[in-house]
Amino acid sequence: MCIHISMADDLPRIAVWDPDEVSIHIARGFQVRDVLREVRDILTIDLGAPVSRGGPLRCFCGMRVDLPRELFPCDLEAQAG
Ligand SMILES: [Zn+2]
């Protein structure tokens, strides 16, 4: 079962690994850059996923892990403009 990433409220940290749901919960209201760093750390350090420099996030099985679209509303608008 692949790792799933979802947004959540009331987290103690920017990103929290939930082994029961095989998912990483991301707190709302943080910079995408910070979220990415936290999620990457959890994936590679805690879960043993392959490190991909500058590439997409990877599950420990090597499959691509997508971040919630909710994280990027500003980026999408900036690229369109
Ligand atoms: Zn996987």
Helix then strand count (H, E) for the chain reads 2, 5
What is d(CA 70, CA 64) in angstroms, rounded to the nearest whole number?
18
The better pLDDT of the pair 61, 51 is held by 61
Full domain range(s) for residue 50: 4-80
Domain count, the chain: 1
Q: Percent of the chain, pLDDT > 70? A: 90
Binning pLDDT at 50, 70 and 90, where does residue 75 land? low
Q: Are strands 57-58 and 15-18 parallel, antiparallel or unpaired?
A: unpaired
Q: How far is ligand 1, taken at its centre, from the CA of residue 4, in Å?
A: 9
Q: How far is the CA of 43 from the centre of ligand 1 (A)?
A: 11
* C-alpha of 54 from chain center: 14
Separation of CA 12 and ligand 1 centre (Å): 25
> Averaged over 46-63, what is the pLDDT?
89
